[in-house]
Amino acid sequence: MKSNDPNDLFISVVIPFQDSANILKLVLDKLEEQTVFPKEIIIVDSSTSDSVERLISNYNSDQKLIYKKVKKLYPGNARNIGVELANGVWIAFLDSKTLPVRDWLERYQYLVQAYHSDVVFGVTKFDSKTSYQKVLRAATYGEIAHHTVPGTLIRKEVFTDSGGFLQHVRMGEDIDWRERLIKKGLSIHNPKQPVVIYHGLSRNYISTLKKYVISAYHTARLNILRNVKDAYLTLLLFLSAIILPKWNYLIGGWDTNPFFIPHVTKIYLIALIFLFLSYQLISYLFFRNMAITLFFRSLQFIVLIFLTLAVLNWNAVIAGWMEDAILYVPHITKIYVGGVILTSIFYRGIIQPLKREVEVGYLFPLKWIQVGLLGLSLDLVKAPGYVIGAVISLINKGPSYK
């Protein structure tokens, strides 16, 4: 039975969309099944074809549909346009691959009224159908629900005051927007139970790697847009990694030059490790909920590179390739690489999935190896993608909010 209570909130549902009209039909059908109807549904379509437009024109619904055809836009920009078109006092967000549970709007209407909230964040759980998707979910999102923009219900005036979503970034605008809302000290409710199911996990390995590389690149760009100081510190860190290990060579004259620094590379590496460990300790003790910065991600990457180079050159530099030397370590490269890989697979295949409530029975006896290998490969493609995105953004455009 649909609710017609006059106390129902005036809710406008905003859906940015691009291609795959059959998926949009599933979303609209789920909205038809809601126990509380939205007053209107706004679809902002940036598809390259007219398939969505044809679907809307032929879709039989008692609900008010507002359709807006736009040029190809990033999701944040499309959502902003949808909110501008909305007549509702409240805005609810969905995405093209997110299907709401039947009592989504009824449940959130109750939470708004019970907690006098300005915002109720969406909660999404990720669905998997194929064997590969199950492995991917275990290696990434797990079985737990995540707070997301899809499913979120927000007072329109609050959304407007927030400045809306960043328009010129492909990914990460949702996290940026939610963090800005939290910092404004609004009345925000964070439910635990999922109200939206995501059905868009990648179906093969290559598309997954491509998605994570692109995501890392754009996340770096977004972090630069958000934090100019962090961007310049990161640039300084990269410059130090390039210049300082070659310092004595660059100044010329070596030990006859007054600016000569003995063992400069070793000193720099020790300083990097000390900075890394100090940063970790301070974050753990005082800033556990602090978002990971571009500077820290870059620091991790550079420390890993220098440690790897140190290990690869250990026997040559420290032991002079003398096998009877005390500090000579046989097969040090194999031990190092094997240890790093096994530790990473163990963490990504067992510890992290269990934290995210993946069932023990799914991981064992052998599935955890597959999950760990996938997780490790995602980490490997994200790190350089993130660093490259940061460097290119700094060089080409510099940190800017424009």
Select from 64, 63, 70 the least CA-distant residue to 46: 70
Average pLDDT, the chain: 87
Q: Are residues 231 and 103 in the same domain?
A: no
- Residue 400's pLDDT is 42
Q: Are residues 197 and 237 in the same domain?
A: no
**Beta strand segments in 280-324, E:** none
Could you read off the pLDDT of 120-136 as tens digits, one per residue? 999 999 999 999 999 99
Average pLDDT score over residue span 28-57: 91
Of the residues 153, 171, 203, which one is the last residue of a structural domain?
203
Residue 1, pLDDT > 60, answer no
Average pLDDT score over residue span 192-213: 94
Of the residues 158, 175, 203, which one is the last residue of a structural domain?
203
User: Nearest 5°: phi and psi at 195?
Assistant: -120, -5
Radius of gyration of the chain (CA): 26
Dig out the tokens for 382 from the structure. Answer: 């994200």
Average pLDDT score over residue span 171-199: 91
Within-domain flag for 27: yes
Fill in the DSSP letter of residue 147.
Answer: E
Q: Are residues 193 and 71 in the same domain?
A: yes
Average pLDDT score over residue span 60-65: 87
Decide which of 355 and 315 is more confident.
355
- Residues 6+ away with beta carbon under 8 Å from 155: 89, 90, 91, 118, 119
Could you read off the pLDDT of 363-378 as tens digits, one per residue? 999 999 999 999 999 9
Q: Which residue range is the domain that position 21 belongs to?
A: 11-203
Residue 103, pLDDT > 90, answer yes
Q: Are residues 166 and 85 in the same domain?
A: yes
- The answer to whether the beta carbons of residues 196 and 98 sit under 8 Å apart is yes
Within-domain flag for 168: yes
Dig out the tokens for 173 from the structure. Answer: 């605008």
Q: Are residues 120 and 171 in the same domain?
A: yes
Nearest-5° Cα angle at 86, 80 to 88: 125
Within-domain flag for 383: yes
Ranking 205-214, 284-293, 378-387 by mean pLDDT, the lowest is 284-293
Select from 327, 278, 283, 285 the least CA-distant residue to 303: 278
Q: Are residues 269 and 178 in the same domain?
A: no
CATH number of the domain where residue 61 is located: 3.90.550.10
Q: CA dist 255 to 248, 250, 262, 264, Å? A: 8, 12, 8, 12
Select from 153, 180, 22, 25 the least CA-distant residue to 86: 153
Measured CA to CA, the distance from residue 14 to residue 95 in angstroms comes to: 8
Residue 86, pLDDT > 50, answer yes
- Residue 398's pLDDT is 45
Q: Are residues 45 and 156 in the same domain?
A: yes
Predicted confidence band of residue 55 (pLDDT cuts 50, 70, 90)? confident
Of the residues 203, 232, 261, which one is the last residue of a structural domain?
203
Within-domain flag for 302: yes
- The answer to whether the beta carbons of residues 370 and 135 sit under 8 Å apart is yes
- Residue 290's pLDDT is 58
Within-domain flag for 297: yes
How many domains are contained in the chain? 2
Q: Are residues 170 and 35 in the same domain?
A: yes
Select from 246, 237, 239 the least CA-distant residue to 276: 237
Query: 3-state class of 33 per DSSP?
Result: coil
Residue 401, pLDDT > 50, answer no
Q: Are residues 316 and 367 in the same domain?
A: yes
Describe the chain by its helix, strand, coil percentages, rounded to 5: 55, 10, 30
Predicted confidence band of residue 80 (pLDDT cuts 50, 70, 90)? very high
- Residue 233's pLDDT is 74
Query: 3-state SS string over 40-106?
Result: EEEEEECCCCCHHHHHHHHCCCCCCEEEEECCCCCHHHHHHHHHHHCCCCEEEECCCCEEECCCHHH
- Residue 258's pLDDT is 86
- Please identify which residue in the block is written with the tokens 């491509």: 210
- Residue 396's pLDDT is 63
Within-domain flag for 50: yes
For the purposes of burial, counting CB atoms within 10 Å of the CB of 338, is it exposed (0-12), middle (13-18) or buried (19 or more)? exposed
Q: Are residues 90 and 192 in the same domain?
A: yes
- Residue 226's pLDDT is 61
Residue 289, pLDDT > 60, answer no
Measured CA to CA, the distance from residue 98 to residue 108 in angstroms comes to: 16
Within-domain flag for 213: no
Measured CA to CA, the distance from residue 47 to residue 55 in angstroms comes to: 12
Residue 395, pLDDT > 70, answer no
Within-domain flag for 4: no
Q: Side-chain half-sphere of 52: how many Cα atoms within 13 Å?
A: 26
Q: Are residues 165 and 233 in the same domain?
A: no
Predicted confidence band of residue 110 (pLDDT cuts 50, 70, 90)? very high
- State CA 276 to chain mean position distance: 22
Measured CA to CA, the distance from residue 50 to residue 40 in angstroms comes to: 22
Q: Are residues 111 and 186 in the same domain?
A: yes
Could you read off the pLDDT of 166-179 as tens digits, one per residue? 888 888 888 889 98
Ranking 49-63, 186-200, 228-242, 248-262 by mean pLDDT, the lowest is 228-242
Percentage of the chain lying above the pLDDT 90 cut: 47
- The answer to whether the beta carbons of residues 299 and 236 sit under 8 Å apart is no
